Structure 1
Amino acid sequence: MKKTVHLIVNPVAGGNARSSIRKAQDIFAGAGYEVVLHLTTRTGDAEQFARDISAASGPRMPLVVAAGGDGTINEVANGLVGSRLPMAILPFGTTSVLAREIGVPLDDIDAAVDYAITEQPRPVSLGRVAFENSVTRFFVLMAGIGFDGEVVHRVNPTLKRLIGKGAYVLSTVRSVFSYKPNSLTITYSRMDGSVAKAQGTSIIVSNAARYGGDYMITPQARLTVPSLELMIDQSHGPADFLRLLSAIGSGRTVPGARYETVTAIRIDGVARMQLDGDASGTTPVVIDVVPDALQLVMKE
């Protein structure tokens, strides 16, 4: 019996992924896989495809491949949480942060498919966000609240399709000079079980070392450990935001920021949030880590 691979594809990721997907289909087929293609047309499709595949898999263990940007990958991960199905990725997004994190080749579809076929699934932790409306979402990479969330919410989708990263640059510039942050109260649990409280305006919660490409805000974060890395910043205006961006861009610790390794966080107050680079509601929220939540194909 042939092995099965389900390709869940955002066909407009990174501009246009269709030609790369046709090549990926041929490579998987040449390696002996039965290829089932699922094309997304709107937000939520990738997650539903993943849920349906998981529900129908039975004793078979098909490979599920998320082909697109980090937003598509996030949706597929949300659909596979708690299942035993392995998830691999083919990076076609604007920044492809997860691909950089786990070493999936960029701009080389042959090498990326080979990685998906030859590497093994490994259990990774995910961040879990509980919103006040009882909705729960998971993130693979990071949650950004405050300035970071505002930048993502202000990105023009049409510009993103046309100029990619440039849309984020324009949104960042606008946000630096116009965003008025709210004060947030952050209550968090450390690894030793102790609980602490802090005030801040911008928060990053990381499950992985990389952020927005190859930038690293929390370089000690690891997908395979049951903890999250927390950064709390007190930026209030343009000078502060420029200082924050300068530190991140140069790989330095953000001056005056608080860094903690945590297992759970409660954020009170109102600010916009992004999860894995996509706009995702507002605080208040509770965030915690879920160990071994996903089987991700990656190097050891």
Structure 2
Amino acid sequence: MAERRVSLSLVREAWNRWVRPDYQPEPAWRWTWNPPLQRLADAQLLWPTEYQWPPAAKWLFHLKHALSRLIPVETAPIDQSDCEGVARVVLCPRGRNSQPRAIMIFDYSDYADRINHSALKSSVVYFKFQYHPDHADDPRIVPGGYYPNSPWLYRHLVPLRALRDRQQWRFDVHGRFGLRYRADLRRRAIDLLTHQNRFRYEGGAKLIRHYEFLEELAVSKVAIDLPGNGDLCFRLIDQLALGVTVVRPRSPVRLPEPLVNGVHVVECAEDGSDLVETCARLLEDEPTRQRIGQAAREYHDRFLHRDQLARYVLHHVLERL
């Protein structure tokens, strides 16, 4: 019943926005990276039929989908035996038995300090999702961006944004976290947020379906992002995409374009000790909160949308060929 209620509300919101005379469609895309795609006119990507870690398929799906809109992508039994924490993808001419032109590695490991050197050896470019500045010594290793963990975000992005733009807030601060990773930090944050009386908090340690989580975000003024097994988490991508004002601890991990404190997100102490105070300050300053939320949405569209990241990937590959 809950699934039907959420789905119907999203459909209803999309329909209402569509028939209203003041409805404005999504702004035209401005491509951040413009690789010379004509150089790939006779090329294709060979994508692995299986990953060394099968759950990686959930978010590498987004990259594969976006790349397939720019270049033919064919699944093939590519050797992944030495690919712990990474996936090997091959760029080659079209046709059977084609010789590789370039090998690229997508490192989805949560550990920012680890590089799969065996996979790196044969690669032209190595996209590290949890990229630490210490990797800058090797020019082949570049920030890999980050992706949602399900297709729900992109399927419902337009109606979710429309719902948020109505500003009919149900919650002041949203923060929902599982306790499998960084349980100490997350429990402390939940405890601080639960036992304060300065604003309405929604969240806790109970996990819900992804589309329900997205709908909660859409009606929250502020959202909290905390690290999990890695510094970057899926919820950050969801929050930025919807244009929520995000409060998160400082982190050295980098995306293709750095997130700027006070512009795209608001940083708090690494231990979350000032979490309540930071959220309360944002709730009292609506112009700043609205500005940061809008900048977060624009940041996602320019640097994190899967269609932008597909061009980013091809930009780096072609630059090194």
The verdict on a shared fold, with TM-score over 0.5 as the criterion, is no
Which category of TM-score, normalised to the shorter sequence, fits these structures? 0.3 to 0.5
Higher helix share: 2
Specify the structure having the higher radius of gyration (Cα).
2
Higher strand share: 1
TM-score in terms of structure 1 length: 0.33
Higher relative contact order (CA 8 A, sep 6+): 1
TM-score in terms of structure 2 length: 0.31
